[in-house]
Structure 1
């Protein structure tokens, strides 16, 4: 029997602020509410580093600017519109994919979860990287196209319309809400 979980990825205040779309958080909130009502696990994944980001190589194109800087530890704060309940797991990842440098795979397998429903920011970042890695790890996948967001609408459309369907079912939150399993 398949067990499904919703992954809410990189919906952290600093990330949300860089992707202005007033309709995004309400759509994502709908997905979270539907999953909770259906008693599906909701797992929050955020990018984060130890204080000073010692795990970041300065050569890393995405995160290299953080290396060695006097930064506080990060990774567990989420936008208040979709923040985790005290009983919901929070996973801190160290790179783009939700699996990179995290214990996500261990958490999912321990709960016998084999179907992931993906939502998050950005479509061309965490969602793309997680789709690819999760497919390689043999998870069944659903991407909630309107619960993903990217600064480039054309890139978002290519990913949800052409790339993701090769490894995942792609649907809208309203459609998924009718049968969230």
Structure 2
């Protein structure tokens, strides 16, 4: 069991227009994420939004990167593009940071770790899209950086329900507490 900390932050990852439109056509799928954001705000837990986006001309994208080189060849997903803006359903408040990353993990090429250190955050609560992408990559890197971790299972989405289930039931519990948003709220 992980030691509880008084310095948690909620990471809302890749809940941006271009990703939400591919994974969550049904607006009800975003309700647990909205509940997590509302609860964090009420409990004065910092909410940090993480998005993926690239500079014009895609200087961050290597042709060896299968996923991102496909994006650079078809265009879009630049930092000013509507597809990289945080989805209206969880619109950030003025004092909530929006971190831009250049790879799958929330830490990759972003200022996330600087923000966490500045606020002495040592516990991360993870939610977002996709379980097999940003959640998995961020969880692994955060665990290696010795953050205490909670994953909100119903506030994470993946295109493959079986992959989501295996990660939540078999992989993530080795490094994080896995619980629903309701369980997290009742615990808090």
Q: Give the TM-score band, short-chain normalised.
A: over 0.9
**Which consecutive residues of structure 2, in runs of 5 or more, have no partner in the other structure?**
none
CA contact (8 A) 2:53 2:77 kept: no
Q: Which has the higher helix share?
A: 2
CA contact (8 A) 1:142 1:169 kept: yes
Match of 1:105 among 113, 116, 137: 113
Counterparts of 1:20-169 in structure 2, within 5 Å, are 20=24, 21-67=26-72, 71=76, 73-74=78-79, 77-169=85-177
* CA deviation vs aligned residue, 1:62-97 (integer Å, no higher than 9, x gap): 101233666473276111001110110110000000
Give the secondary-structure state (helix, strand or coil) at the position aligned to 1:18: helix
Aligned to 1:4: 8
Structure 1 CA distance for aligned equivalents of residues 76 and 125 of structure 2: 32
User: C-alpha root-mean-square deviation of aligned residues, in Å?
Assistant: 1.5
Return closer, same or farther for 1:85/1:52 CA change in 2, 3 Å cut-off: same
Aligned to 2:17: 13
Moved more, 23-32 or 119-128: 23-32
**Which consecutive residues of structure 1, in runs of 5 or more, have no partner in the other structure?**
none
